[in-house]
């Protein structure tokens, strides 16, 4: 099993590309069918993706739970197909332990759990057993209920306290600290103000000393600011990616690999001017 340290490039904002094997993800451009899977993956790799993230259940606000059998039918063949053709690290976006187990057996490398190991009591044991990296995301409520008037006294400190509790839970279950990534959960039980506050104060999460992931690509917060549908939110996404790169965020989870990779390269060239890479630009 790949260690997190061998997946992430140090001193670099890594790009995770979203591939949704679902009919109802909020951004139609992220959806693929069986015939499109290999070409989409190959395109992302060519464009510089570091991780591909496979999802078989939409987690947009108000989304219904997909039956386990249907999620397996969507995700596992995709994992097998990608692994048979490419060495790219594969993340599986699921909170279901049995699906995670099958996916890891078939070649997946990372489990991306929106519930931070809370929605399936066996998930922590599966992650610990396989020794794989895991992404712990903050979410208030469930995808079905999370946007029903979410409230916080202090959104940053409450998320930090949540992470402390989940890190302790994970390590007590045998998950190694060096395999944990934290995601503050943009859009998961947050208002626009909460999301903007998370970004404005993103450096405060670094006090926890774990890699950070930000997933804001084409989300409704961008639509609220720019009054644009998901199909027209690329520029807003790139603004957030540039901001994340300036703040040394470890991973951005995005729909559009090429554009985000290029933004990060420019930001990092500016940040690193004077070193070897900067002199070559």
SS3 state of residue 181: strand
pLDDT at residue 35, as a whole number = 85
Cα gap 267→264, rounded to integer Å: 5
Name residue 252's beta-bridge partners.
15, 214
SS3 state of residue 74: helix
Radius of gyration of the chain (CA): 18
What CATH number should be reported for the domain whose range is 4-280?
3.20.20.20
Residues of the chain with pLDDT under 70: 24, 60-63, 142-149, 276-281
Q: Catalytic residue positions?
A: 219, 253
pLDDT at residue 29, as a whole number = 75
**b/e map 188-220, b = 16+ CB within 10 Å:** bbbbeebbebbbeebeebeeeebbbbbbbbbbb
* 3-class SS shares of the chain: helix, strand, coil, % to 5: 45, 15, 40
pLDDT at residue 146, as a whole number = 54
Asked if residue 37 lies in contact with residue 82, where contact means CB atoms within 8 angstroms, the answer is yes
Dihedral sign (CA 65, 184, 155, 122): positive
Cα gap 180→203, rounded to integer Å: 18
Cα gap 109→131, rounded to integer Å: 9
Cα gap 136→178, rounded to integer Å: 13
pLDDT at residue 1, as a whole number = 82
DSSP string, 102-154: HHHHTT--EEEETTTT-S-TTHHHHHHHHT--EEEE--SS-TTTTTSS---SS
Q: Is the pTM of this model over 0.95?
A: no
pLDDT at residue 279, as a whole number = 47
pLDDT at residue 62, as a whole number = 64
Distance of CA 217 to the CA centre of its chain: 10
All structural domains of the chain with their residue ranges: 4-280
């Amino acid at each position: 099993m790949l260690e997190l340290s061998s997946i992430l490039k140090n001193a670099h904002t890594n790009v995770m590309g979203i591939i949704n094997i679902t009919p109802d993800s909020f951004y139609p451009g992220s959806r693929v069918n069986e015939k499109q899977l290999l070409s989409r993956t190959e395109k992302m790799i060519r464009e510089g993706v570091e991780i591909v993230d496979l999802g078989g259940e939409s987690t947009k606000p108000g989304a219904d739970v997909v039956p386990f059998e249907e999620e397996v039918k969507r995700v596992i063949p995709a994992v097998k197909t990608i692994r048979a053709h490419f060495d790219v690290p594969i993340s599986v976006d699921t909170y279901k332990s049995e699906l995670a187990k099958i996916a890891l057996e078939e070649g997946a490398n990372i489990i991306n759990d929106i519930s931070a190991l809370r929605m399936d009591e066996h998930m922590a044991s599966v992650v610990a057993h396989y020794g794989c990296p895991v992404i712990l995301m903050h979410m208030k409520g469930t995808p079905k209920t999370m946007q029903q008037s979410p409230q916080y006294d202090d959104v940053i400190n409450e998320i930090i306290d949540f992470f402390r509790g989940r890190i302790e839970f994970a390590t007590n279950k045998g998950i190694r600290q060096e395999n944990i990534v934290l995601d503050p959960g943009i859009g998961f039980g947050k208002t626009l103000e909460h999301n903007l506050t998370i970004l404005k104060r993103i450096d405060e999460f670094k006090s926890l000393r774990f890699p950070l992931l930000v997933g804001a690509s084409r989300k409704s917060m961008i639509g609220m600011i720019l009054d644009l549908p998901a199909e027209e939110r690329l520029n807003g996404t790139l603004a957030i990616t540039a901001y994340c790169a300036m703040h040394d965020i470890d991973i951005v989870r995005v729909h559009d690999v090429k554009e985000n990779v290029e933004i990060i390269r420019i930001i990092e060239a500016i940040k690193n001017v004077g070193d070897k890479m900067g002199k070559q630009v």
